[in-house]
């Protein structure tokens, strides 16, 4: 065999071109993947640093309530362990995290009702019929009444309502934290975290109402019933006539103010008309006596009848 002939043995001793190519491709692929992962990591780090140091949005309304988380958790434990121990198995930390997830890292003018839906689904409280108290322009008096008549419930006496009552909160698209500087109100934008929350809760409260339902109205103003109020525009339209046996209005007048037959007020007649259309029986009482007595105790310098 001369030197020009093919030798199988010599071919096995030489490295394969294809084998080298596969190794090179694998190495290149690993290198490219590493560069991509490094780029993603740097991008995420840059976004995090940008969010961390970006100035939060500024509004003219109140800021998030200081120590919000501590207050929220404290109320949750008090409500579920003392006030309503039947809810004692509630996971308060999960409730708070779910509540915050509705608005954290979101623009506070773009909150939707769906953002609060996961929170609503965690609420297992069921209220007894005949114990629902709605109110309009008479919140302080309504809450004084339910603090004494503890078996009665305004929206703020329900579990989620109790947690949020009197608090302010919002997030900011530039941070993972709550906005401690300022939050918008309904004048700034209607779809802010607080307004949307109470609208969702008002609707849920009204849809759950059953039996004899009470509404406390302010007889010391021109129109005790206002169709554009939360009660008139959100709650009343959602009463289910198959569940609500009767709507009972308590029209209360300020102690020392002018007394009048507010049940004959045109706005009350409008409320009755709406109830009639929904086939819900309606009755009205001027200065319902159990509540009048609360007013008298709060103002002992004025004669009460």
Would you call 210 a catalytic residue per the annotation? yes
What pLDDT shows up at residue 242?
Answer: 97
The percentage of residues in the chain with a pLDDT greater than 90, rounded to a whole number, is 71
Span 76-123, pLDDT tens digits: 999 999 999 999 899 999 999 999 999 999 999 999 999 999 999 999
What pLDDT shows up at residue 220?
Answer: 93
What pLDDT shows up at residue 300?
Answer: 79
Specify the range with the lowest mean pLDDT, choosing from 50-59, 88-97, 143-152: 50-59
Q: What is the mean pLDDT of residues 173-182?
A: 91
User: pTM of the prediction?
Assistant: 0.80
Would you call 129 a catalytic residue per the annotation? yes
For 40-125+155-208, CATH number out of 2.40.50.140, 1.20.82.10, 1.10.150.530, 2.60.40.10 equals 1.20.82.10
Q: Which CATH superfamily is domain 209-305 in?
A: NAD(P)-binding Rossmann-like Domain (3.40.50.720)
Query: Per-domain residue ranges for the chain?
Result: 40-125+155-208, 209-305
Which of the residues 109, 129, 189, 296 is marked catalytic?
A: 129
Contacts 24+ apart (CB under 8 A), 82-89: 83/162, 84/125, 84/159, 87/124, 87/125, 87/159
Which of the residues 76, 170, 210, 284 is marked catalytic?
A: 210
């Amino acid at each position: 065999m001369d030197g020009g002939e093919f030798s199988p043995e010599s071919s096995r001793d030489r490295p394969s071109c294809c084998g080298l190519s596969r190794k090179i491709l694998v190495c290149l692929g690993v290198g490219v993947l590493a560069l991509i992962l490094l780029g993603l990591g740097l991008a995420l780090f840059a976004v995090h640093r940008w969010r961390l140091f970006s100035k939060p949005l500024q509004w003219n309304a109140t800021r998030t309530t200081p120590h919000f988380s501590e207050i929220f958790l404290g109320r949750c434990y008090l409500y579920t362990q003392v006030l309503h121990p039947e809810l004692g198995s509630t996971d308060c930390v999960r409730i708070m995290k779910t509540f915050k997830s509705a608005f954290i890292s979101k623009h506070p003018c773009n909150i939707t009702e769906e953002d609060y839906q996961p929170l609503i689904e965690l609420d297992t409280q069921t209220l007894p019929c005949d114990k629902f108290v709605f109110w309009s322009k008479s919140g302080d008096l309504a809450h004084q009444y339910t603090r004494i008549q503890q078996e009665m419930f305004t929206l703020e006496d329900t579990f989620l309502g109790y947690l949020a009552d009197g608090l302010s909160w919002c997030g900011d698209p530039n941070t993972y934290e709550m906005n401690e500087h300022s939050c918008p109100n309904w004048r700034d934008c209607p779809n802010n975290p607080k307004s949307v929350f109470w609208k969702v809760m008002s609707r849920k409260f009204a849809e759950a109402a059953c039996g004899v339902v009470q509404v406390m109205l302010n007889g010391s103003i021109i129109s005790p019933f206002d169709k554009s109020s939360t009660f008139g525009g959100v709650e009343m339209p959602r009463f289910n006539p198959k569940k609500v046996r009767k709507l009972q209005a308590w029209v209360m007048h300020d102690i020392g103010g002018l007394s009048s037959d507010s049940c004959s007020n045109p706005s009350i007649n409008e409320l009755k008309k709406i109830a009639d259309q929904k086939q819900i029986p309606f009755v009205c009482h001027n200065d319902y006596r159990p509540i009048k007595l609360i007013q008298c105790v709060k103002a002992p310098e004025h004669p009460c009848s």
